[in-house]
Structure 1
Amino acid sequence: MASLLLAGGGTAGHVNPLLATAAVLRGRGHEVAAIGTPGGLEADLVPRAGLDLVEIDKVPFPRRPDADALRFPLRLRRAVAACVRAIDERGADAVVGFGGYVSTPAYLAARRRGLPIVVHEANARPGIANKLGARLTEHVAVTFPDTPLRHAAVTGLPLRAQIEELAATLADPAAAADASRASRAARVWGEDVPVLLAFGGSLGAASLNAALADGIGDLVARGVHVIHLTGRGKAEGALAARAALPEADRHRYEVEEYAHDMASLFAAADAVVCRSGAATVCEIGALGLPALYVPLPHGNGEQALNARAAVEAGAATLVPDADLSGARLVAEVEPLLIDADARARMRAAARGIGIADGADRLATMIEGVL
């Protein structure tokens, strides 16, 4: 069996795929440790998953000619040296990078020691670190087709175990119906009504929150049950909209700031409206859920690219953030919830492109290079 170093950190988009892949590799008998920074999410999540964390300093690429740019070469050399020490001390056989600040020094250290490098890119538009990594190896895994990296092979995104398990359940029509009924019964008091799940991530999405609060009266009037995750500290507008509903209908609009058990909410949902981060798009696709995506309007446009394959396949629709309103949201999601035939077509399209076993596929690629 092999000793493997997995590098990725800073955000959940880097850390969660790393942990999902580590779990599969350990299950196959390999020794796995992670490289990360003391200030990123990995400092908490990696040890909690039972993995050793090799800490290195954060080395962001300089964006402008300033003092940080002058210090960058020395910081990078120190980070590479720390990664080389980790490789030597653990007798690593390969390095796997998931992007982010920590991956660059890990890739350079692996090249210095002549080790195989495997790159996994979560987004349709790759980051700087993985653009570099892809120049150093022929073993490049991507989540989305048409990701512009050399030697790219589509493996999908390594998903959390509970999402993989739910995807397997929902792939069986009888089991899916039982899971949906059981989950819905607890939330909708036994009513057999369509359920819309809306969320904007842990921080919420102000435009999505406002549009849903504006359109909730129409959705409830059409018999839709809505579960709305507003983001921490951002429930005020939704709660006010709920209070304005007729008292008999208020139970149809559930407002929560955050949910720790997203799998149970996905099981209850007939359709989803949300942002289109890579993990979100991949989880929804693997689960076969029709979706309305409202990409984050900031950054480099990667969220719109993440959703493109699902939209082109007919598994989802997309509304630019600037065009979102209560009326537009209702018009877009109503067919997904009310029209059973349309929903079935979108579910089939989602399952046609969704990949639920991304962690297994990536682990197999890693084993193939050893």
Structure 2
Amino acid sequence: MKKIILTGGGSAGHVTPNLALIPKLRDLGYEIQYIGSENGIERKIIEDEKIKYHAISSGKLRRYFDIKNFTDPFKVIRGIFQAVLIIRREKPNIVFSKGGFVSVPVVIAAHFNRVPVIIHESDMTPGLANKISLPYCTRICVTFPESLKSMKGHNAVLTGTPIRQELLDGSRIIGRRICGFTNEKPILLVIGGSLGSRFINNVVRNSLNELLKVFNIVHICGRGNMDKALEVRKGYVQFEYLNKELSHVMNAADIVVSRAGANVIFELLALKKPNLLIPLSRASSRGDQILNAASFEKSGYSMVLQEEKMTQKVFLDKIEELYKSREKYINNMMASPARHGTTKIVHLIEKYRN
């Protein structure tokens, strides 16, 4: 039997594209295993899929000063040795990496074991983990056409991003039932990313009085970010995180407020959901979300509001404008040539496996 090891972690964005590949890989007869961190978000997600999970030591890779920068490299080295032993024992035909700090030891270990590696970069420019992994990979899959220019010499191929089929099969009726909405108000979905966004959470919650006059609101606010005082607000429902239910809730939404991670914006594109993107600022990120948002704004798929320009009035005005012009955004997304990359990536896996 063919065998593949998947890896990636640190946030749900480094896991969900792997989930999109699993059904097709199973159809092709692959035994699927996963290498991730001991306590990362990826562990529960993967174990819920009944996939064999190997936990390794992993140190976070940072671009800023932190005292842990002196100790985490030793965790990475330990993770490499652990991954080398796992790959040597399991003998996969290929490794597929979605990035995140836990993937670096796995990619390096696969290279040491002469196992082909395909990595995927969702954002327009590679994250630090994928930058480190580049010399050890066989091919790198990219999502934006602009990325090919910065990836010359690295065997880059444009594939787009994998989209889970179940996301496309969600039910608006079930989504409304999950949220408990019984009236016919349009639904505003707020997504701050798998880890949540306190910035977006605060803006939305401070604007509830005005927003609830027009919308029902479903707010995915991130782990530990629930506000129990707001649970009595009619028309407002909050969740820390959604997994299986997310496809239904996303299909139920009329408009969406979101961060600008590549995975979520391509999901919104696939679902044709008009959206307001609030990318992470350069003060708290490497600026990849700003580039992602700019690309989607240029294509007419998204409205964009930078954190630095945010006020409550500006936010409410943007929401009103987005809802009034939603058909324009839907038409632009319907005309998009972008297609999800599941088939292309699986083809590369088949091509380069041992």
TM-score by length of 2: 0.83
Aligned mates of 1:55, 1:187 — CA distance in 2: 38
Alignment match, 1:359: 342
Shift of 1:116: 1.6
Superposition pairs of residues 108-187 of structure 1, within 5 angstroms: 108-147=108-147, 148-149=150-151, 150-166=154-170, 180=172
Residues 343/144 of structure 1: CA separation in 2 closer, same or farther (3 Å cut): same
Residues 129/162 of structure 1: CA separation in 2 closer, same or farther (3 Å cut): same
- 1:327 paired to 2:310: no
More helix by percentage: 1
8 Å contact from structure 2 (residues 124, 144) kept in 1: yes
Superposition pairs of residues 242-281 of structure 1, within 5 angstroms: 242=233, 251=234, 253-258=235-240, 260=242, 261-281=245-265
8 Å contact from structure 2 (residues 220, 238) kept in 1: yes
What one-letter code is carried by the residue in structure 1 that aligns with 2:313?
Answer: A
Aligned mates of 1:352, 1:4 — CA distance in 2: 35
In the TM superposition, what whole-angstrom CA distance separates every residue of 1:20-72 from its partner, at most 9, and x where no partner exists?
Answer: 32343122211221112212223322222111122221144476697854783
Aligned mates of 1:320, 1:271 — CA distance in 2: 18
Alignment match, 2:95: 95
Shift of 1:115: 2.4
8 Å contact from structure 1 (residues 62, 69) kept in 2: no
Shift of 1:152: 2.6
The alignment's C-alpha RMSD in Å is 3.1
Alignment match, 1:368: 351
- 1:189 paired to 2:185: no
What one-letter code is carried by the residue in structure 2 that aligns with 1:151?
Answer: N
Aligned mates of 2:133, 2:100 — CA distance in 1: 11
- 1:299 paired to 2:285: yes
Secondary structure of 1:4's counterpart equals: strand
Residues 236/295 of structure 1: CA separation in 2 closer, same or farther (3 Å cut): farther
Aligned mates of 1:135, 1:94 — CA distance in 2: 16
Superposition pairs of residues 14-29 of structure 1, within 5 angstroms: 14-29=14-29
Residues 354/227 of structure 1: CA separation in 2 closer, same or farther (3 Å cut): farther
Bigger Rg over Cα: 1
What one-letter code is carried by the residue in structure 1 that aligns with 2:310?
Answer: L
What one-letter code is carried by the residue in structure 1 that aligns with 2:136?
Answer: L
What one-letter code is carried by the residue in structure 1 that aligns with 2:343?
Answer: D
- 1:309 paired to 2:300: no
Secondary structure of 2:15's counterpart equals: helix
Secondary structure of 1:189's counterpart equals: coil
8 Å contact from structure 1 (residues 37, 55) kept in 2: yes
Secondary structure of 1:54's counterpart equals: strand
- 1:226 paired to 2:208: no
In the TM superposition, what whole-angstrom CA distance separates every residue of 1:89-111 from its partner, at most 9, and x where no partner exists?
Answer: 22222122111223222222222
Shift of 1:220: 4.8
Q: Which of 266, 272, 283 matches 1:282?
A: 266
Unaligned segments of structure 2, at least 5 residues: none
Residues 328/12 of structure 1: CA separation in 2 closer, same or farther (3 Å cut): same
Shift of 1:184: 5.3
